């Protein structure tokens, strides 16, 4: 195990040309002054921030100072270590003697005590004045990964089982975010802080440099300002607040120790789906609550923060949700294709555009379901990026596009229409990754193809869903299924119904992701007791909340996002995710 950042650090920035670093001991203050001299004394730029060392008594005083005036993306495992053969279950902890790193410390207090409270193994009133009486006798340690006297100890896992101390990756109570440098949320000048630290990191690489950002002087103490074993610093992605950085499990542990903490059960949705959800809420007697969000990312953030519970996602967003600690809990089962394990991502063109095939797509007008979605973006753009050596410059391939979620000023938004009509309201929603954009999702991308595009990236059932049957939308009234062809990667143009031969990839079905498993389908499924009152899988607006072709929801056999998506799809995502390590699936010129 490697810790990339250790001791909790606070940065304080006040003056416009300085970064004030908060220290909590004489030894830290001395090291800070040495850093100023040894790392930054040769920096001559007028715009470079000056390092000022500010002495405070403790972390709380530092944070208070930041508040009235002023992260790494790695983590470590919080584990429970017991003497071998002494503890056989979590229940056995009662009445035992425990050792903790410190009151309110992450691995030593918040995670273990919060977990025991959540499992109803410990009564806790929520007071923060001091620790309750927990245990009596036998050595129990809640510590970060340790290798001392391994043969005498074993790990007590989150589920009560036991493992070797070397198996911490499969036997830990929570992953704890590495200690971080923090600043004010408003005008925190994080760019200057990062500039200062980046310069120090570069100085450390010089062979003759005396700059030692992480290592503490041998005669001065240990873990001053930073942990001595830190090997680097990484910028936290923009927009990540404390809850997102710490993660849902850690925040839940803290909330379990707070008095009167109430969990809010909401389903965070796009605006167009809210009306359907409101009906669902009424029929469920308030068991379901609904709210609106403009993007899927906003929904995921709400779920991570425990302000929402569930959302239906396609594979691309399931990947993102999985990386954020969420899991697929229910999967859509379609009426006509119940035996298939997923659907086909296809490229569709008009039959009349005889000069368009997979090999002639450069310079055409394209229609996408949304940036980050499977059939409409991840699969086709991953292939195009690889086959054409785009180096992630996606806006250089097509002449014009509608890819909801792309930067509004890019060519990838040129074909988008917003809410339709004229005026500012239409422009407000232009290229937004939600149903307020006319060309959003499968139906929107297909409509885009009919009205302004030359190729659309959708799933194999979209053509027939909008061109057959009695309830076709007005914009599709003048076309038939046979007016369209599928584009194979070998250059072949196939009839619309030959998707098993002419497709870009086969991918998993949409799924509901959440923290815990939910049971609303028991009341409102295709065979539910209130199906005559509320139809989960029918919508006035196409595919609201769930796909209209869904028969029911089922618990998937795969309980992790990696298993659910499958290795083939995960490998295809590499062509997209490598374009932006920060997680944003789009890179432009």
For residues 43 and 199, is the Cβ–Cβ distance under 8 A?
yes
- Using the 8-state DSSP alphabet, how is residue 157 labeled? P
Residues with Cβ < 8 Å from 340, sequence gap 6 or more? 334
Please tell me whether 510 is known to bind a ligand: yes
- Using the 8-state DSSP alphabet, how is residue 458 labeled? E
153-156 and 75-83: which strand pairing? antiparallel
Phi, psi of 431 (to 5 degrees): 70, 15
Could you tell me the CA-to-CA distances from 242 to 113, 195, 582 in Å, in that order? 20, 22, 17
For residue 92, how many C-alpha atoms fall within 13 Å in the half-sphere facing its CB?
A: 17
Please tell me whether 364 is known to bind a ligand: no
The two tokens of residue 502 are: 């002419």
Please tell me whether 369 is known to bind a ligand: yes
Q: Is 350 helix (H, G, I), strand (E, B) or coil?
A: strand
Please tell me whether 137 is known to bind a ligand: yes
Please tell me whether 496 is known to bind a ligand: no
Please tell me whether 179 is known to bind a ligand: yes
For residues 456 and 448, is the Cβ–Cβ distance under 8 A?
yes
**What b/e string do you get for 157-170 counting C-beta neighbours within 10 Å, with b at 16 or more?**
bbeeebbebeebee
What are residue 21's DSSP bridge partners? 11, 53
Rounded to whole angstroms, the Cα distance separating 335 from 453 reads 30
For every residue of 46-97, DSSP letters joined together read TTSPEEEEEE-SSHHHHHHHHHH------EEEEEEEEETTS--SGGGGTT--
**Of 454, 462, 357, 447, nearest to 404 (Cα)?**
447
Rounded to whole angstroms, the Cα distance separating 327 from 320 reads 10
The residue with tokens 């003497």 is 83
For residues 107 and 76, is the Cβ–Cβ distance under 8 A?
yes
The residue with tokens 């232009």 is 430
Please tell me whether 107 is known to bind a ligand: yes
SS3 content of the chain, % helix, strand, coil (to 5): 30, 15, 50
Please tell me whether 440 is known to bind a ligand: no
The answer to whether the Cα torsion of 173, 143, 32, 203 is positive or negative is negative
Please tell me whether 105 is known to bind a ligand: yes
50-55 and 18-23: which strand pairing? parallel
Q: Binding site membership for Fe(3+): which residues?
A: 76, 137, 179, 314, 343, 442, 510
Q: Binding site membership for hydrogencarbonate: which residues?
A: 101, 105, 107-108, 369, 373, 375-376
Q: Binding site membership: which residues?
A: 76, 101, 105, 107-108, 137, 179, 314, 343, 369, 373, 375-376, 442, 510
């Amino acid at each position: 195990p490697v810790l990339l950042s250790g001791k909790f650090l606070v940065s304080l920035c006040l003056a416009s040309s300085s970064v004030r670093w908060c220290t909590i001991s004489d030894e830290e203050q001395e090291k800070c002054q040495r850093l100023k001299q040894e790392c930054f004394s040769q920096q001559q730029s007028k715009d470079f921030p000056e390092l000022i060392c500010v002495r405070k008594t403790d972390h709380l005083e530092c944070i208070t100072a930041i508040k009235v005036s002023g992260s790494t993306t790695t983590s470590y495992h919080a584990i429970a270590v017991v003497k071998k053969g002494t503890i056989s279950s979590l229940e056995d902890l009662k009445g035992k003697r425990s050792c903790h790193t410190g009151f309110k410390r992450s691995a030593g207090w918040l995670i273990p005590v919060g977990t025991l409270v959540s499992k109803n193994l410990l009564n806790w009133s929520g007071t923060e004045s001091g620790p309750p009486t927990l245990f009596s006798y036998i050595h129990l340690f809640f510590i970060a990964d340790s290798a001392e006297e391994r043969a005498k100890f074993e790990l007590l896992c989150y589920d009560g089982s036991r493992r070797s101390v070397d198996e911490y990756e499969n036997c830990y109570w929570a992953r704890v975010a590495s200690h971080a440098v923090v600043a004010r949320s408003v005008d925190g000048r994080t760019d200057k802080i990062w500039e200062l630290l980046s310069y120090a990191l570069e100085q450390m690489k010089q062979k003759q440099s005396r700059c030692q950002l992480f290592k503490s002087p041998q005669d001065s103490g240990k873990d001053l300002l930073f942990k001595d074993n830190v090997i680097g610093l990484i910028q936290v992605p923009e927009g990540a607040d404390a809850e997102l950085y710490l993660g849902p499990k850690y925040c839940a542990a803290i909330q379990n120790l707070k008095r009167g903490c109430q969990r809010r059960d909401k389903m965070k949705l796009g605006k167009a789906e809210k009306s359907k959800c409101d009906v669902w809420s009424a029929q469920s007697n308030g068991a379901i609550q609904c709210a609106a969000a403009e993007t899927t990312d906003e929904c995921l953030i709400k779920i991570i923060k425990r302000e929402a519970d569930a959302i239906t996602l396609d594979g691309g967003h399931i990947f993102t949700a999985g990386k954020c600690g969420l899991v697929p809990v229910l999967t859509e089962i379609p009426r006509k294709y119940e035996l298939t394990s997923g659907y086909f991502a296809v490229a569709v063109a008009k039959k009349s555009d005889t000069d368009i095939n997979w090999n002639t797509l450069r310079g055409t007008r394209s229609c996408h379901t949304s940036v980050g979605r499977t059939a409409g973006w991840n699969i086709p753009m991953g292939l195009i990026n690889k086959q054409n050596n785009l180096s992630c410059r996606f806006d250089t391939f097509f002449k014009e596009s509608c890819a909801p979620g792309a930067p509004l000023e890019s060519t990838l938004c040129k074909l988008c229409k917003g809410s339709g009509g004229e005026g500012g309201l239409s422009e407000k929603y232009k290229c937004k990754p939600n149903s307020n954009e006319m060309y959003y999702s499968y139906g929107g991308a297909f409509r885009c193809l009919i009205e302004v595009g030359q190729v659309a990236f959708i799933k194999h059932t979209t053509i027939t869903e909008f061109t057959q049957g009695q309830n076709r939308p007005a914009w599709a009234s003048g076309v038939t299924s046979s007016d369209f062809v599928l584009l194979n990667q070998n250059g072949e143009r196939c009839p619309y119904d030959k998707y098993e031969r002419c497709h870009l990839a086969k991918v998993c079905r949409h799924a509901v992701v959440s923290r815990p498993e939910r049971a609303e389908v028991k009341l409102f499924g295709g065979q539910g007791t209130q199906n005559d009152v509320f139809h989960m899988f029918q919508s006035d607006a196409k595919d609201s909340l769930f796909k209209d072709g869904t028969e029911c929801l089922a618990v998937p056999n795969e309980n992790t996002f990696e298993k659910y998506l499958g290795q083939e799809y995960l490998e295809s995502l590499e062509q997209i995710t490598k374009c932006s390590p920060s997680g944003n699936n789009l890179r432009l010129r």
